[in-house]
Every structure is written in C-alpha cells, then in structure tokens.
Amino acid sequence: MLTADYDLLGVESGDRILDMGCGFGRHAYEALRRGASVIACDLGFEELKQVRAVAGVMYEQGEIKPPIAIETTNGDATRLPFADHSFDRIICSEVMEHIDNDSAALSELERVLNPGGTLAITIPSRFPEKICWSLSDDYYAPKAVGGHVRIYKRKQLTKMIPLQRIGKPKDIANTILFLLSNEGSYITGIEITVDGGLTAKP
C-alpha cells in the first residue's frame, strides 16, 4: 500500500525524488511511473538489488523510459551521502520508528530538500503499534535487528520538526502522514491523512 499522496506531495515529471528507507521500492516505482527520477536509499543491500531488478523490468516493458532514471544508494538516514538541496521531493515512509537518532535524520532530510520542495513522512499509529509490541519481542529492537526502536506519541514527531504550525495528527489506516514544505530557512506544513483529506492548514 502506498502511504504517500503523490498529488498532494506535488510529484511532477522531471522531479528528483529521494525515497529514504525505500525497502523493496513501492514508493519509488510509483514516482517513476509519474515521470520523476528517483534515488532509492536504504541500509539493506538485498532490498536495493530488488529495486534495481524491478526497475529494470519496468524499463524493458516500456512502463518507464529515458530520461527517467533510478539510482540505488546504500545509506544511513543520519548521514545522507547527498549535497544540500539535492531533491525536489522526499518520501520517508515507515522509517523514523527504526532510527535511534531520529532528530539527526530529520535534520538530514531538511538539509537535502530543495527550497520549495516537499517532504512526506509516515509513521505507524500508536495503538496498533502497541499491540504489535505486546504480541512479540521479535517485532522491535534489540531482538529484531533493524526493528522498531520506539512508539511515537501523537505529538512527538510534530514537536521535533521545525514547523511554523501543524494540526493534530489523526490515525488513518494505521498510519499518520505528514506533508511538509521547505520554505527557505524553515519548514512549514500541513498534515494530511492517507485518504488525501486535509486536516490542518499552515
């Protein structure tokens, strides 16, 4: 399931997109279909191999064509291997809960986002996440390598992001989606639900 709304994110043909923590590439593929060039970044080598393989099939079948391009990069969200202002759009879906130093990751995402660019961050809703944690300790770190390291409270991530203003998060389909826009020296934003409904205005 796609957790980012590409229309509200503003994805356009020719955009340069970072899919941070891409996993097996579901968001990267949709961005390619919309004409954007994508860098899929993840710590998992096997995931990146599959992303390249699937993208190759998409090229072979004519689903995507040059100059649309995809690159895969093995990288750490807290030390991104990209220059400042490298991306028009960033998708960071179901990633922040895996990162010990999430504040460093947020700073890096802001650093590599172009002025006027947009950033979509999704995190699991708290209640279903608590259920998963209670059912098995194989779900979270340290027993699960790369597992979840925290359960976010509803306002926790909002407070960490230097927003001008943001509304109260809502749990929709077990996911909370924040859509943020980089306006120069600070980030302003709106929070949207996964069904595309606006819940707050900047």
Q: Let me know: does 91 contact 16? Beta carbons within 8 Å.
A: no
Per-residue pLDDT at 179: 60
Residue 11 lies in a domain: yes
Per-residue pLDDT at 148: 76
The answer to whether the Cα torsion of 189, 183, 108, 28 is positive or negative is: positive
| Measured CA distances, 94 to 72, 123, 172 (Å) | 18, 5, 14
Per-residue pLDDT at 79: 96
Per-residue pLDDT at 100: 87
Residue in the structure block whose two tokens are 């979509």: 120
Residue-range definition of the domain harbouring residue 176: 6-192
Helix (H) or strand (E) holding 23: none
- For residue 159 the two structure tokens come to 């407070």
Residues whose CB falls within 8 Å of the CB of residue 75, separated by 6 or more in sequence, listed in order: 41, 42, 43, 81
Residue 158 lies in a domain: yes
Give how many domains the chain has, as a whole number. Answer: 1
Predicted structure pTM score = 0.80
Residue 1 lies in a domain: no
Residue 199 lies in a domain: no
Residue 201 lies in a domain: no
Looking at residue 62, its amino acid is: G
Question: Residues in the chain with pLDDT < 70?
Answer: 126-128, 130-131, 141, 143, 145, 154-155, 157-159, 161-202
C-alpha of 62 from chain center = 26
Residues whose CB falls within 8 Å of the CB of residue 125, separated by 6 or more in sequence, listed in order: 171, 172, 174, 175, 176
Residue 60 lies in a domain: yes
Residue 198 lies in a domain: no
Q: Let me know: does 17 contact 31? Beta carbons within 8 Å.
A: yes
pLDDT tens column, 109-137: 989 998 878 888 887 776 667 667 777 77
Per-residue pLDDT at 173: 52
Residue 200 lies in a domain: no
Closest Cα to residue 152, out of 133, 180, 165? 133
Per-residue pLDDT at 36: 97
Per-residue pLDDT at 2: 81
CA distance 116 to 94: 23
CA distance 182 to 118: 6
Q: Let me know: does 72 contact 40? Beta carbons within 8 Å.
A: yes
> What CATH number is associated with residue 142?
3.40.50.150
